[in-house]
Structure 1
Amino acid sequence: MNIRKISVISLFIALAVVGASIKIPAIVASVALDMVPALTAGAILGGIPGALVAFFGHLISALIGGMPLGPFHFLIAVEMALLVWLFALIYSKGKRVLASILFVIGNTFVSPLPFLFIMGAGFYIGMVPSLLIGAVLNTVLALLLTPRLVSVLFHKEALK
């Protein structure tokens, strides 16, 4: 990994901090726009850099929100990293719509499943609407920004 790629990953993590500050009303204060940079990094740089941005992005979002679920946020961060990695894998094969749909479904219905058993059906049902709104917003914004950032990051003059 070269210095340029590390710098770009760091930039995306910094953007995740900004996104983590933009909260979506929910039962838990960690639902935010922190996945926009992660999805964009996954689409541009690949699955592992995107997963790193997602992992740290969620932890930062949870910290800003007061870590309402305590150590469970580490589980959520791993889930987000896996979802972004899967998104990047499918996105790189040219199946952008499928990647987006799977991310939204995974983020909305699959990732909170452990909490169905830990905290009960009320918590799960209460989280689904805000997770759906957050996942759709994150995905749509990432899909809109990615082509523009590719032209900026990989412009011939930027490589010098």
Structure 2
Amino acid sequence: MKGKKISILALFIALSAVGAMIKIPAVVDSIALDSFPSMIAGVLLGGISGGIVACLGHLLSALMGGFPLGPFHFIIGLEMFFLVYFFSLLYRSRKKYIAGIMFIVSNSIILPLPFLFLMGKGFYTGVIPSLLIGAIINAAAAYLLLPRLQSIALWKKFSP
């Protein structure tokens, strides 16, 4: 990775940290607006870059919330990496609406499935509404900003 791309990646990680401070009222204090910078980074810089921002953004959000789920946050960070990676692949292949729907459904229903078995049905059903609201807000912010940012010629240098 070149120095400029690392600097831009650090900028998106910092934006994700700012989004991590904007919490959504939930059972778990790590649901925040930390995903939309990673979605933007994934589309502009590539899926791996977006995945790195997503993983680190979730870990920062969890850290600010006191790591309420303990080491399970590392699993969630890995899930977020792959979610944003696949989101960026779909978005870049001109399947923008499918990418958004996949992000919202996966983030709110599919990714928390391991917790159905680890923590029970009550936790799973209790966290879904907050995750759904958070996923919709994160996706909406990304979809509002992406068309405006894609027109900037600077990103074309760093795109894979």
What is the identity, as a one-letter code, of the residue corresponding to 1:44?
A: L
> CA offset at residue 114 of structure 1?
0.4
Matches within 5 A, 1:1-160: 1-152=1-152, 154=154
Figure out how many residues of one structure are paired with residues of the other and give that number.
156
Return the alpha-carbon distance in structure 2 between the equivalents of residues 116 and 25 of structure 1: 20
2:44 touches 2:155 (CA, 8 Å); kept in 1?
no
Return the alpha-carbon distance in structure 2 between the equivalents of residues 151 and 60 of structure 1: 29
Q: Could you say what the CA RMSD is over the residues aligned between the two structures, in angstroms?
A: 1.3
For structure 1, the residue ranges without an aligned partner over 5 or more in a row are: none
What is the identity, as a one-letter code, of the residue corresponding to 2:2?
A: N
Return the alpha-carbon distance in structure 2 between the equivalents of residues 126 and 153 of structure 1: 44
- TM-score where L is the length of structure 1: 0.94
> CA offset at residue 2 of structure 1?
1.3
Deviations 1:43-78 (A, max 9, x none): 111100000000000000000001000000000000
> CA offset at residue 155 of structure 1?
7.5
Change (3 A) 1:128 1:4: same
- Aligned identity (percent) is 56
Return the alpha-carbon distance in structure 2 between the equivalents of residues 132 and 113 of structure 1: 14
